[in-house]
Structure formats: structure tokens, C-alpha cells
Amino acid sequence: MNTPETSGRRAVTATELFDRVEAILLKAGLHPVQAAAVTRVIVAAEADDCKSHGVYRIEGVLRTIEAGKVKADAEPALMPDEKPTIVRVNANGGFSNASFELGAPLLADRAKEYGMAALVINDCTHFAALWPEIEFLTALGVAAMAMCPSYATVAPAGGRYPLLGTNPFAFGWPRKNGNPYVFDFATSVVARGEVELLRRAGKKLPDGWAVDPDGQPTNDPEAALAGALLPFGGHKGSAISTMIELLAGIMIGDLTSSESLEQLGSTTLSPSHGELIIAFSPEAFADHRGRNPFSRAEALFEAIAGQGARLPSERRFAARANSEKHGLILDDTEFETLTRLEAASARR
């Protein structure tokens, strides 16, 4: 990362990358609020060397638009209050990102006013990592938990068929100085993409990743892709993934992973479903207890790092520091992707 000039890797400024990606998405017909919000995630991902949500994802976004599986011209709408702790945004079939940006400041305000609050995003096509959302909220001084279904690729522990999604679960805690405490992980052992990468490389899967179509453990990527991934942590991870289907699918009146796959008919486009984000005001919960929750949390983080364990997201934050110094590092393939998509845009 410190030698961006080697092996076809070059730097680009965040502003330049933002402008290029946004222009491609606008040309593809994405509403300006959607284009800007999706672009922010892609640029943030590249800044953090988090390639799974970076430039390579642009084509998936375009494919999803072309397949008519997202309403490109949709504007998100804040729904009337039903309950004071539930901020609800309807994406109206657009990508989730602009809906998050519309609802998040209000979510933080409500959490501070009421102690805790939820942001429900409904009727969205989901293109997002959860950590940029968590970091947006921790920057506003609230702790936050986020979760959503995906599409069915994971069997429940002890089962045989895909029913659950890779269902990400994320959490963040604000830190007054520096980067927040943030984790964001799939509740499957791995993402489906990692199985696909091993298939292409002709490699075997490690034990415990997947079952074949008969529900038997398999190390064969083909059999795994025809069968199902497994949740992380056995029945415990499976239970958490099921909780996510219940809270962030069924409870919020939106699709489960199984329904999302049925509606989409493919695992190569962005899935449709909702998302649930819960925010907590640490000051409100700690009130009258006479101890500062933020300084106490620092002591906990020091005790973790001080024994050689890593805090989550450390790798991303190191990449971000590097990007701030040297620019965002893309490789030749990524630059070619941008140039090719720009040329295709110009022919529209």
C-alpha cells in the first residue's frame, strides 16, 4: 500500500473518483440523490481498500438498473410517524443508500430525545456495506446496530437448503478522538463471492463452509454453490441470522431472504429487501450513574488491543489513513473498468 506506483496500481483523489463514478451512475439514469449516495459508498470502500464494495461493484449496480430490478428514478420518502421511536423511510424501489442518508440524522436526533430509536428502510434495492452507515451514526454521537436480510444462500444449522441470507450484522460505538469501534460481518461463514473465487481458481473449500444439495458437508465449490453456505458459529450464528430475518425482514414488513431471491431470480443482481438500524444514546442510558461511558469504553478497547488482539476494522482504518496521505489506490483493471464504463455512457 505504501508503493502505489508498483504493479499497475496508481492513486486517484477521492474527488476525482467520486466525480467519475457519479457521472457513470447519472448517465445510467440514476436519480441524483441515489447516484450521489451510492457513489459515496463506492468511494468510501475504495478509500478503505474494501474492494468488495468498490469500483468493481459499479457493473453490478448498472446490471441491476438494466434488469429493471431497481427504480432508477425513485426518490426516497420519509413516511409519517407511526411511533416516535420508529423513523421510516420508503426507498420507493430505489437503492437503499439515499434512504439511509435521508433518515439517519433524524434517527440520531430521536435516539437522543427518546433514549433509543430505529430507522426502518423499506422497499429498497440493497447496495451497501453497513459500516459506512454505522460510521455516519457514531459520528453523530450515538451507538448503533444495523442488520438486514440478503437473498437465500445459507442453510440454517442442521438444514440442507438455502433459506437465510448472508445477513450482515454491524455495530458501532462512538469514540471522541479518532475512529469509532465498528464491526460489520456476514452471519454466514463466508460470503458467496469467496466460494466463487475458489471455484474459479480450481481450489477446494475449507471444512465447514458449505453443504451440497443433499445437505452433506462439502469441499467442492460447485457442489457448495448448488447447495448452501453455512452460518458462522454453528447453531449460534444460525440463530442470529434467523433473528435478522425476523427483525429486519418480517417485523419491518419487508422481504425475507427467501422472498427476495424468489422476486429477483438471481444472485448476480442487488437484492430487494429492507433494513433495520437501531441507535442508542449512551448519555441517556448512562444518565445518573456517575461514570463516563466514553472514557470507560476507551479502557475496554485498550485492554483488547493491549493483549495483542485486534479491534475490528483496524485494517480498513489503516488503509484509510494511507488513502488520505497518498490518494485512493486503484489497479489497472479498475481504471480500465472506469474508462470502459465512461465510454459506454458516452454512447448512450
126 is a catalytic site residue: no
Catalytic residue among 52, 59, 222, 266, which?
52
258 is a catalytic site residue: no
Cα 32-263-42 angle, rounded to 5 deg: 35
Positions in 269-298 near a copy of itself (CB under 8 A): 278, 280-282, 284-291, 293, 296-297
151 binds a copy of itself (CB under 8 A): no
Cell numbers of 250, please?
418480517
Give the residue, chosen from 103, 132, 221, 237, that forms a contact with a copy of itself under the rule CB under 8 A.
237
Positions in 102-131 near a copy of itself (CB under 8 A): 113-118, 120, 122
Region label for 141, one of left (φ > 0), alpha (ψ between -120 and 50) or beta (otherwise): left
Positions in 167-186 near a copy of itself (CB under 8 A): 169, 171, 173, 181, 183, 185
* Dist. CA 3–CA 5, nearest whole Å: 5
Number of Cβ atoms within 10 Å of the Cβ of 280: 18
246 binds a copy of itself (CB under 8 A): yes
CB of 244 to a copy of itself, least distance (A): 10
CB of 43 to a copy of itself, least distance (A): 25
Give the ranges where the chain is alpha helix by DSSP (H): 14-27, 32-47, 58-66, 96-114, 131-139, 192-200, 221-226, 234-245, 257-264, 282-286, 293-305, 314-326, 332-346
CB of 53 to a copy of itself, least distance (A): 19
319-328: buried (b, 16+ CB within 10 Å) or exposed (e) per residue?
bbebbeeebb
Q: Which is nearer to a copy of itself, 31 or 110 (CB)?
A: 110
* Dist. CA 172–CA 107, nearest whole Å: 15
Cell numbers of 11, please?
492513486
Positions in 5-34 near a copy of itself (CB under 8 A): none
334 is a catalytic site residue: no
Residue type, position 32, single letter: P
Q: Which is nearer to a copy of itself, 38 or 143 (CB)?
A: 143
Catalytic residue among 22, 31, 46, 53, which?
53
CB of 103 to a copy of itself, least distance (A): 14
335 binds a copy of itself (CB under 8 A): no
238 binds a copy of itself (CB under 8 A): yes
Instruction: Using alpha carbons, select from 340, 260, 339, 312 the residue that is nearest to residue 96.
Output: 260
Catalytic residue numbers, as ranges:
52-53, 194
